[in-house]
C-alpha cells in the first residue's frame, strides 16, 4: 500500500505583516529545515524543470539560490546567480525594475552565459511577477534563451504569471 502523498503546504509558514503591514509572507524556511519535505520539494521541482532541458539554472537572490543549487545538481547542469547591486565582482550586466514597494535591479557577471544557452529562472515565490520578469529581461539582454521559470510558491490572486513572457510552473498555489 502506498503512503498518502505529502502536502508540502504544511511546511510553509505564513507570517502576517512582513515585510510591511498588510502583507502575508509565505516563508519557505520551515520547508528547508524539514529534510523529507525539502527532498520531496526539490524532487518535484526537478521533475517539472527537466522537461525544458536547461543548460543553466538561474537563481534570483537570495532564496532563489536555495532552490536553484539542488536543481542544478540533480539535473547535471550549471547554476547562475542573479544578484542585487554591488554583490558580484568584475564587470556586470544589469536590469532595473519597479516593485510594488520600490525599485531594484538585478545583475549577472558579463561572461556568465554564452549566447543561446537554455536557462530556467528559479525563485522561491511568484507574487506580481516583477522580479521574475526582470530576471528574464536581463538574461535575454545577455543573449540567453530563457525557456521557463519555476517557483516554489505562487500567489494566484496577484496574477504574476500574466507579467511573464515565458512559461512558469509553481509547486504550491495560494488563492488568497
* C-alpha to C-alpha distances, 174 to 21, 104, 134, 159, nearest whole angstrom: 19, 25, 23, 11
Cα 165 to Cα 146: distance, rounded to the nearest angstrom: 9
* Residues whose CB falls within 8 Å of the CB of residue 124, separated by 6 or more in sequence, listed in order: 28, 63, 64, 66, 67, 151, 152, 153
Query: Out of 63, 83, 154, 161, which one is annotated catalytic?
Result: 63
Query: Out of 13, 14, 83, 100, which one is annotated catalytic?
Result: 100
100 has catalytic annotation: yes
63 has catalytic annotation: yes
3-class DSSP state of 59: strand
Catalytic residues: 63, 100
Amino acid at each position: 500500500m502506498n503512503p498518502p502523498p505529502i502536502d508540502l503546504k504544511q511546511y510553509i509558514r505564513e507570517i502576517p505583516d512582513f515585510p510591511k503591514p498588510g502583507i502575508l509572507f509565505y516563508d519557505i524556511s520551515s520547508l528547508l529545515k524539514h529534510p523529507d519535505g525539502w527532498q520531496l520539494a526539490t524532487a518535484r521541482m526537478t521533475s517539472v524543470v527537466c522537461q525544458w532541458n536547461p543548460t543553466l539554472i538561474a537563481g534570483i537572490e537570495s532564496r532563489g539560490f536555495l532552490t536553484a543549487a539542488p536543481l542544478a545538481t540533480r539535473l547535471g547542469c550549471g547554476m547562475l546567480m542573479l544578484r542585487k547591486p554591488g554583490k558580484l565582482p568584475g564587470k556586470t550586466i544589469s536590469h532595473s525594475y519597479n516593485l510594488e514597494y520600490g525599485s531594484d535591479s538585478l545583475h549577472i557577471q558579463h561572461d556568465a552565459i554564452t549566447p543561446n544557452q537554455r536557462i530556467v529562472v528559479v525563485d522561491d515565490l511568484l507574487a506580481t511577477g516583477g522580479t521574475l520578469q526582470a530576471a528574464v529581461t536581463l538574461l535575454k539582454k545577455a543573449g540567453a534563451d530563457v525557456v521557463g521559470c519555476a517557483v516554489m510558491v505562487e500567489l494566484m490572486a496577484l496574477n504574476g504569471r500574466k507579467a511573464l513572457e515565458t512559461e512558469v510552473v509553481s509547486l504550491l498555489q495560494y488563492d488568497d
